[in-house]
Structure 1
Amino acid sequence: MSEILFIAHRIPFPPDRGDKIRSHHVLKHLAARAPVHVATFADDALDFAAEPELAAMAASHCLVRRSKPLPLAAAEAMVTGQPISLTAFRSGTLARYVCKILATRPISTIYVFSGQMGQYVPENFRGRLIADFVDVDSAKFQAYAARDGGVKGWAQQREARLLQAEEGRFAAQADTNLLISDAEAALFRARLPAPYPPAAGVDVRTLGNGIDSDTFDPARVEAEPQLARFTGPRLIFTGQMDYAPNIDACLRAAQRLLPRIRAVHPDASLHIVGRNPAPALTALSGRHGVHVWGRVPDVRPWLAGCDLALVPLEIARGVQNKVLEAMAMALPVVLSPEAATGIPAQDGTEWLQGADDDALVAACLKLLENRNAAAAMGEAARRFVVEKASWPAALAPLDSLLGVAAGNARDAA
């Protein structure tokens, strides 16, 4: 039986943030079809605590603590002329494990999750290579550069330029390149640098995200008790809270949107839920209706205890799991066009979009002032997720890429 090597920039356990949720379900799908060997990083002790779950799913694994300080990674990048995204995820231990697995196991497919891990694939590998870029990281850094300016903007622009070149190199090496949405796939094709234009035969496809609507079901959980003391409208934003776009979105919600909502509903509150909240966010907690909760064991009770999900992202790549999770929990969602990318829901029926602050505030007030309409929108959102956004449906195209019949377990890689 042929086997699979899965290389990911973070351990796919616990599936408690966007990238881990996708990599977890992809790994689970692969492991049902062939033995999988996993090379990946842990960010902290909580990641290492999930190692037994990884061991139970994988035929073998190598889990390395990613502890390289950012200044050291930046220094290496400057010396070598590479993007920091590569040097930050460089490990001799991981590289040796990959070489050992390729030398001793019948690996027919390498699945690389996140472009910076392409550095571990040897150029002479002759099996099937699937590169799951998820979204276009170089475009994200380019957006940062345009926003920041100065020395920081120069560094972001350097990262964007070098990472774009690396994306082109690895895309040309791979048999198939996966992006999370049609929009990301089109952007990726358009940004392929010479000598890797789309006409060169680089295969770029869409593999969307799904949601476990059985787990994210409002009928299965009770509202978080700590939210009961907030008697007014409760708005929520969830996610990884040391991630720059999430930080900016929360600052926008707390400083620009919530005050205008509280002018109409003085007891309205904003609840920021997710691990590693940045100091800029914790400084706001407990003031003017903003409450920062940090990491929680289960985000579902927090969603169940709120009236509205507010997702005002200004920089976003790919599909936002936070949006799908809120929708699955029948929570009405108000979001920016950036946050809506890649989810074909209907504006006005399954969520409300707002192109600017005025529109976002108006959408929130509309739903808060008509609770029946808000409940109907939440129910429509859940129906959309259940019918159109399941993980089995999202990952079904993988079987043809792996060369197995749809749904066959442990058939062949």
Structure 2
Amino acid sequence: MSLLFLAHRVPFPPDRGDKIRSFHILQHLAARTRVHLVAFADDEADHDPPESFTRMLASCTIVPRDKSRRRAAVEALVGGKPVSLTAFANRRIAAAVAAVRERHPIAMTFVFSGQMAQYLGPDEPAIMDFVDMDSAKFASYAEDSSGPMRWMMRREARLLGAFERDVAARVSASLFVSDAEAALFRAGGAQGRVLAVENGIDSATCDPAAVSPEAIAGPLILFTGQMDYRPNIDAVTWFARDILPIVRRRHPARFAIVGRAPTAAVQALASDDVIVTGAVDDVRGWLAAADVCVAPLKLARGIQNKVLEAMAMARPVVASAPAAQGIEHAGTIRVADDAEGFAARICDLLDDPVAAAALGTAARAQVIARYGWDARLAPLDALLP
């Protein structure tokens, strides 16, 4: 049997949330069958992945994604389609998919991320990994927008929701990263088999004993993530402006924002008290140096890899309820949703380093017990032909 794996980003290197999940799923499937990968690259470094990655594949086709957001929006408005789909509509990808199907006996297609479902044939066996319910994300964006942008976000939510339901009715199974996302999808009228396949964590790689901490003076509060992603931008902006000043009344803490592609709005947060790093070679050094890791996301879908990574690195975590949702943390995450509460939880941990360290140790133990990738991805085996 051969399997076609479609991905909206090359699943390597596994250094951001979606690529971590897609990499481990791809690796899991490639250990069981021949896998042909067709994927977009939206970064120069992704155009030519190393042999250490491609050797597990039967074939690998990567196409640059160079369509501008403006062009995608115009095409969507003219064609009556979601922008999320027109942004990933590409003749070279369509041709690559057709070529793989013509040359190889494909028994099933695994689609990673809803944008790639447009390349499915009408009757082919397929598994659809939506990861999160994107239509619900855009509905949330609409609530925080106004004027033409509010109309655009509502339109995207409506059209994308209809597309998601249509895809779910055609595939063998629709996967989501958490039970909450799967339940939300069912409640929205989705038909077919809807399952939760949770994210895991590589606790051997995320091991504080194997990493040298970055040399950062003073108490360090850390946020990690892709910094051109709107929920992350909103989170660090809220933290830097509303939460950090409260913390600094009691502790001379610094806030580090670690992640690639920081927007101008994120870079503008940089100060003596706020560090904006951009991309780093190894985020584990920053995690190892952190006194507290935070996830103050007001909009969060599914399970947050940034939280699992911090827990695996034995860091105490303070998170919003949306960011903690879906993670079985057994009380090892401190949860708060307003600025005063967030600051209070952080200050409590900075006040008592021994208790904070014990909380981090318990968090790592919980991750090891509950979130190994092999166990999380085992349900995929029953879906293969």
SS across alignment from 1:366: helix
Name structure 1 gaps, 5 residues minimum.
404-413
Distance 2:141 2:98 in 1: 36
Distance 1:47 1:98 in 2: 19
* 1:210 aligned partner: 200
- Are 1:285 and 2:270 an aligned pair? yes
Shifted more, 83-92 versus 338-347: the winner is: 338-347
Distance 2:81 2:53 in 1: 31
Distance 1:57 1:12 in 2: 12
Pick from 162, 165, 170 the counterpart of residue 167 of structure 2.
170
* 2:259 aligned partner: 274
After superposition, where does 1:332-371 map in structure 2 within 5 Å? 332-347=316-331, 350-371=332-353
> Contact between 2:129 and 2:176, CA under 8 Å: does it hold in 1?
yes
Distance 1:59 1:205 in 2: 28
Root-mean-square deviation (CA, aligned residues, Å) is 1.1
* 2:105 aligned partner: 106
After superposition, where does 1:183-194 map in structure 2 within 5 Å? 183-192=180-189
* 1:260 aligned partner: 246
Mark the CA change 1:51 to 1:188 in structure 2 (over 3 Å): closer, same or farther: farther
* 2:67 aligned partner: 68
- Are 1:156 and 2:170 an aligned pair? no
Pick from 282, 304, 327 the counterpart of residue 288 of structure 2.
304
Distance 2:194 2:207 in 1: 34
Distance 1:48 1:158 in 2: 33
- Are 1:56 and 2:55 an aligned pair? yes
Give the superposition deviation at 1:103.
2.1
Mark the CA change 1:51 to 1:118 in structure 2 (over 3 Å): closer, same or farther: farther
1:321-374 deviation line (CA, Å, top 9, x unaligned): 000000000000000001001101123xx1100122221111001111011110
Give the superposition deviation at 1:48.
1.8
> Contact between 1:216 and 1:329, CA under 8 Å: does it hold in 2?
yes
Pick from 228, 239, 263 the counterpart of residue 225 of structure 2.
239
Letter in 2 for 1:285: A
Letter in 1 for 2:292: L
- Are 1:85 and 2:99 an aligned pair? no
Distance 1:152 1:247 in 2: 18
* 1:396 aligned partner: 378
Give the superposition deviation at 1:54.
4.1
SS across alignment from 1:263: coil
1:248-275 deviation line (CA, Å, top 9, x unaligned): 000011000000000111x210000000
Q: What TM-score do the two structures reach when normalised by structure 2? A: 0.98
Distance 2:347 2:49 in 1: 41
Distance 2:54 2:74 in 1: 34
1:64-87 deviation line (CA, Å, top 9, x unaligned): 100001100111101110001001
Give the superposition deviation at 1:100.
1.8
Distance 1:256 1:51 in 2: 43
1:185-211 deviation line (CA, Å, top 9, x unaligned): 00011113xxxx54xxx1100100000
Shift >6 Å, 4+ stretches: none
* 2:122 aligned partner: 123
Mark the CA change 1:221 to 1:204 in structure 2 (over 3 Å): closer, same or farther: same
Pick from 135, 138, 141 the counterpart of residue 141 of structure 1.
138
SS across alignment from 2:122: coil
1:75-117 deviation line (CA, Å, top 9, x unaligned): 1101110001001011111111111222221111100000111
SS across alignment from 1:387: helix
Kindly tell me the number of residue pairs found equivalent between the two proteins: 385
Distance 1:357 1:102 in 2: 53
Distance 2:170 2:141 in 1: 28
Letter in 2 for 1:135: D
* 1:43 aligned partner: 42
SS across alignment from 1:148: coil
Shifted more, 246-255 versus 149-158: the winner is: 149-158
Pick from 213, 216, 221 the counterpart of residue 223 of structure 1.
213
After superposition, where does 1:401-412 map in structure 2 within 5 Å? 401-403=383-385
Letter in 1 for 2:155: R
- Are 1:377 and 2:362 an aligned pair? no
Name structure 2 gaps, 5 residues minimum.
none
SS across alignment from 2:375: helix
SS across alignment from 1:397: helix
Distance 2:123 2:301 in 1: 32
Give the superposition deviation at 1:283.
1.0
Letter in 2 for 1:26: I
1:23-53 deviation line (CA, Å, top 9, x unaligned): 0000000111111001100011121242544
> Contact between 1:175 and 1:203, CA under 8 Å: does it hold in 2?
yes
> Contact between 1:310 and 1:333, CA under 8 Å: does it hold in 2?
yes
* 1:34 aligned partner: 33
Q: What is the percent sequence identity of the aligned residues?
A: 50
Distance 2:328 2:147 in 1: 37
Mark the CA change 1:49 to 1:62 in structure 2 (over 3 Å): closer, same or farther: closer
> Contact between 2:221 and 2:254, CA under 8 Å: does it hold in 1?
yes
> Contact between 1:13 and 1:53, CA under 8 Å: does it hold in 2?
no
Distance 1:273 1:290 in 2: 11
Letter in 1 for 2:319: L
